[in-house]
Structure 1
Amino acid sequence: MGAWNYNPWENVEAADWFQEFWKQQNFAVLINEINQFDPTEERYDAFRAACYLLQTLGNPYIWPAEHLAELKPLIQRAISILTQMIDPTNEDWGFLDMWGGSADVIKAVEEQVDALKTRLGELA
């Protein structure tokens, strides 16, 4: 897996995703990572990296105006998927297996969900 710790930027897959995002300098990379998420592809760490930027930059005063209409549904989808990752409803979700069911990674994902819920509240 190439993970150094539990934060959404502390693994090889996330580092590669961040590099691609900044190389392209295009919010479509972030939006597509979240909207096209498929648990069977097991891009959990790239997804969490995209969610980290969403929770950090997903403020209506920061978020690009051309993607503003997508912000609320994107945050809602991110919350739903992150929640499924730590409380899966079927066997397609292998995130917890990849991390050995670690309580630390569950806590880290819960913190992401909380941050996204805060962002969602800013949009209300």
Structure 2
Amino acid sequence: MGMWAYEPWDNDEAADWYGDLMDQTRLREAWLEGINQDPGDSPGVVRAAGALFVMLGRVYVWPITTFDEDLERAIAALSRVAECDEYKESPELIELVTKEIEELKSRRKNNSDNASPSIPASAKPWWKFW
């Protein structure tokens, strides 16, 4: 088994398993249906789809051929959710969605132009998203 880091997905076995899982379940296709909904009509669905990408949107887990595109799609969709009237009424919701967006932005390939995450990735357990 080739292991290149210590996260649960950073080895050949796991990467192959995630690839098979994505192919067999068509999870990405279902995710696209949610993330592409109109956040003005269904902000909860769009945010739920964004949260799924926060959890699974990682290299070696998410389909690599669409990872960068889907990362940007999730960031844009969550940004639109934050602009919804329903969410603007709640500073707590805006704060949470902003943290989700920041987490996703930290996963961009060239992250030097972005604000650094509040907690360095190396100091944060992989399952801590917020």
Indicate the TM-score class for this superposition, using the shorter chain for normalisation.
0.5 to 0.7
Partner residue of 1:20? none
User: Which structure's relative contact order is higher, taking Cα pairs within 8 Å and 6+ residues apart?
Assistant: 1
Identity of aligned residues (%): 25
Q: Which has the larger radius of gyration?
A: 2
- Residue 71 of structure 1, CA deviation: 1.7
Aligned counterpart, 1:33: 34
How far apart, in 2, do the equivalents of 1:33 and 1:99 lie? Answer: 18
Contact 1:79 1:113 in 2 (8 A): yes
Would the aligned equivalents of 2:81 and 2:87 in 1 still touch at CA under 8 Å?
no
For 1:1-124, list aligned pairs within 5 A. Answer: 25-27=25-27, 28-34=29-35, 36-40=36-40, 42-63=41-62, 67-86=63-82, 88=83, 95-96=84-85, 98-99=86-87, 101-121=89-109
* Deviation readout 1:18-75 (Å, 9 max, x if unpaired): xxxxxx94311112322x32245x1111111111111111111222xxx322221111
Residue number in structure 2 paired with 1:16: none
State the superposition RMSD in angstroms: 2.7
Instruction: Please state whether the residue corresponding to 1:119 is helix, strand or coil.
Output: coil
* Runs (4+) off by over 3 Å: none
TM-score of the pair, normalised by structure 1: 0.59
Partners of 1:78 and 1:100 in 2: CA distance: 19
Give 1:99 shift: 4.1
- Letter matched to residue 33 of structure 1: G
Aligned length: 88
Greater helix content: 1
Residue identity in the other structure for 2:97: V
For structure 1, which runs of at least 5 residues remain unmatched after alignment?
1-23, 89-94
